[in-house]
Structures are given as C-alpha cells and as structure tokens.
Amino acid sequence: MDPIAADRISQPRQWPLRPYREAMRVLVTGGCGFIGSHIVTEFRRAGHEVVVLDALLPAAHPASATVPDEVIRADVRDRDAVADALAGVDLVCHQAAMVGQGRDFTDAPDYVGCNDLGTAVLLAAMTGRGVNRLVLAGSMVVYGEGRYHCGVHGEVRPGPRSSRDLAAGRFEPRCPECGRGLDPGLVDEDAPLDPRNLYAATKLAQEHLVSAWARATDGHAVSLRYHNVYGPGMPRDTPYAGVAAFFRSALAAGGPPRVFEDGAQRRDFVHVRDIATANVVAAEALSGTEPGSMRAYNVASGRPHTIGEMATALSAAHGGPAPVVTGEYRLGDVRHITASVHRLTGELGWHPQVDFDEGIKEFAIAPLRTVADTDVAG
C-alpha cells in the first residue's frame, strides 16, 4: 500500500471521503500564521505537497521565530517572489492577510495593501503561471449585521447602530420600519453583503477580485467565509486579532476578560482545526466546480453562543477571574452574526468536529504566540 493511502487509513478524515485524487502541490500564503499553520498541517496529513509563502511580519510572528527551510519568506505583494513560489503549483490556498479591526482608520493603507493589492498580485501571478484553482480565506464580516426577523414586517435589514444608542446602552438593532425588537437568525451565503468596517471592506474587495479573475481565466475558486475562529496558537496582545484572542490574552496576564456591550452579542465560534479541514475538503473538490465562477461557503460550527458565554466558559476552564462586562462599544461592530453551514455540509460533505466545550477547554490552556504589535499582520 502506498504511504499516502496508508496515512488516510491510519488517520481517518473527518468528512465523507470523495473519490481518490492524486496528491496536489499547494501554495499556502500566510502558511506560518495562526490559521495558515493548521491548514498546512492538514494538507500534509492528507498527502499533499505544500509550499509556504509568508512575510513573517512581527505583528503575527515572534521576532525570534525560526524560519523552516521550506518556507519562502516573502511578502505576497512581491511579484517576483510570488511568481517563483507558484512554480509547479496546482492550487493556491490564500490565507495571507491583515486581520481584525486594528487601531483606527489610519490603518487603511496597510489593510488595503496587504489584503487587496496582495490578492491582485497573487492573481496576476497565478494567471501568468497558468494556475487556475484558488481557495480564499474569506470572512463573515462581509455580511455586516446578521439576519433579523420582525414579527410585523418579516425579514428586515437594520442599519448601522448609532453612537447615541450605543452610548445609552441600547445595543439591540430595531426594525427599520416600525422600531420593534428583532429576532436574530442564521445568515446564508445569499444574504446581502454590507461590510461595516475597514477590514470587512477589504475582505469583500478580495472576493470581487477573485470573482473577476475566475471569470477572466475560467478559474475555479471558492471563498470560505470564516466565522469567529479560535484555538491553539492564536496571537497574544495584538489589536490585529479576534475576541477570543483578547480574552485569552487577558487571562494569560492574570486579568479578567473584558466584555464589550452587555455580552449578549451572538457569534459562532469555530475551532481552527475545523477551519483547516474545510480548506482541504474545498481544495480537493475544487476541480469539480463550475469554471469561471467563485462559490462562497460559510465555515462555522452551526452552534451559536454569546460573547459573554464564551468569555465565561474560557475563564472557568483557565481558572482565572470571571469576565467583566464593561458596557463599552466600538463603532463598526455588529450585534449578531451567526451562520448557516448547510451549503458546505450539503455540497462538500464537510462537518465541524470540535465541540465548543472541549475546544474551549483546550484553548484555555494552550500556548499563545507572542508577537509585536507595531507592524502589519499577515
């Protein structure tokens, strides 16, 4: 029996196996980062050859980090380096990005440069090399607010929450027609897109670039819209991270997680290993998708929790102080955003495997990566 087949049997995959395909040579941009490193591990476990391109910038990596010999240390905006990295590649898994909300809008040039110019350079190089398959790290932030139902007017789209309402502790969106309270629901991939902060705008621009590339080249592309990712190896003490990293950083420093608003914001926390397996199953199915188009998929656990619940569970598992609900807020934050994963499970056979309680217990004691917060994450 060949080694690849043996590995598939000894370490069974967590989704229904598709017909066997030859091993691919995969370029993972940002493959040394939090999510990217887990994806690299999963691709290799599945028997694929992986090439990693990563800028190893201080906001995402310790200054003392050892660079493995097989990693190409280069920025995704470096046209020559990207073109060289694509030699012999069958598929690209594009994870390199500047993430999180950052500090303020002065970060705009860095976000647009990393996320949008970087994607444009990559797509141009792929076209030149004849590489026509791409898995994009998308994000649920492209939706803005989630799905809401009014008892009188049905499904509605509330506008951005005002600073006046937020300052007064009125956190819940109201029906734009009658002002009634709303019931939050699950967002599917056909929901209207409404990016409400800088990061969200760049992630939507990435999808538009990829869609245009696919049409122009008969390429095969998917965007995996990640929801709130957590797990081992998250960066510590950086503004370029998600809420799970903020809470875990506070606990590591001996303090309580600080929960904004009233803690009742609904999110879907998905474990990083589930994100990694979703990337592999999407990559292995990509050649069977319609050429010339981009297909979007939510990647989430399908089991929403409030931010307050997450903070409480994490504090208890860590053995640290209980969370402090501050009532503070950030303009651009959305109230509720949770996902339907029916498209991904139905079309590609992927299912999340990491239970929330078990995942939080692992994350509560897992090491974090210490990074500088002076440069762009990627």
Question: Does residue 181 fall inside a structural domain?
Answer: no
The average pLDDT across 283-287 equals: 93
What does DSSP assign to residue 290?
P
Looking at residue 3, what is its pLDDT? 31
pLDDT-derived band of residue 352, with 50, 70 and 90 as boundaries?
Answer: very high
Task: Return the residue matching tokens 């069974």.
Answer: 12
pLDDT higher than 90, residue 145:
yes
pLDDT reading at 15 higher than 70: no
Give the residue with greater pLDDT, 2 vs 309: 309
pLDDT digits (tens, 9 = 90+) for 71-97: 999 999 999 999 999 999 999 999 999
- Please give the sequence-ordered ranges of beta strands (E in DSSP) within the chain, or none if there are none: 25-29, 49-54, 71-73, 91-94, 133-139, 147-150, 154-156, 183-187, 220-226, 228-230, 235-236, 258-259, 266-267, 269-271, 293-299, 305-306, 324-325, 338-339, 369-370
Distance between CA 293 and CA 62 in Å, rounded? 38
Q: At residue 14, does pLDDT exceed 80?
A: no
Burial pattern 142-151, b for ≥16 Cβ within 10 A else e, equals: bbbbbbbebe
Q: What is the pLDDT of residue 376?
A: 34
pLDDT (average), residues 134-145:
96
The CA angle 15-16-21, to the nearest 5 degrees, is: 105
227, 48 Cβ separation under 8 angstroms: no
Residue showing tokens 């999110």: 267
Average pLDDT estimate for 136-146: 96
Calculate mean pLDDT across residues 356-362: 97
Task: Report which of residues 199 and 15 the model is more confident about.
Answer: 199
Residue 318: pLDDT band by 50, 70, 90 thresholds? Answer: very high
The mean pLDDT value for 300-319 works out to: 97
Residue 235 lies in a domain: yes
pTM score, whole prediction: 0.90
Is the separation of the CB atoms in 174 and 158 below 8 Å? yes
Q: Answer whether residue 14 is part of any domain.
A: no
Which pLDDT value is given to residue 213?
98
The answer to whether residue 292 sits within a structural domain is: yes
Q: Which of 2-16, 239-253, 354-368 has the lowest mean pLDDT?
A: 2-16
* pLDDT the model gives residue 375: 32
Contact 31, 378 (CB under 8 A): no
Predicted pLDDT of residue 68: 61
State the chain's mean pLDDT as an integer.
89
Per-residue tokens: 222:
């998917």
Q: Is the pLDDT of residue 211 over 50?
A: yes
Over 80: is that where the pLDDT of 360 sits?
yes
Output the domain CATH number for residue 89. Answer: 3.40.50.720
Confidence at 67, pLDDT banded by 50, 70, 90? low
Contact 54, 30 (CB under 8 A): yes
pLDDT digits (tens, 9 = 90+) for 272-283: 999 999 999 999
Q: Is residue 155 part of a domain?
A: no
Q: Is residue 49 part of a domain?
A: yes
Domain boundaries, position 109: 25-146+187-364
Distance CA 277, CA 227 (A): 15
Task: Please give the tally of structural domains in the chain.
Answer: 1
Look at residue 10 and tell me whether its pLDDT is greater than 50: no
pLDDT of 284 higher than 70:
yes
Q: What is the DSSP letter of 140?
A: G
Task: Evaluate whether residue 18 is within a structural domain.
Answer: no
Q: What is the DSSP letter of 84?
A: H
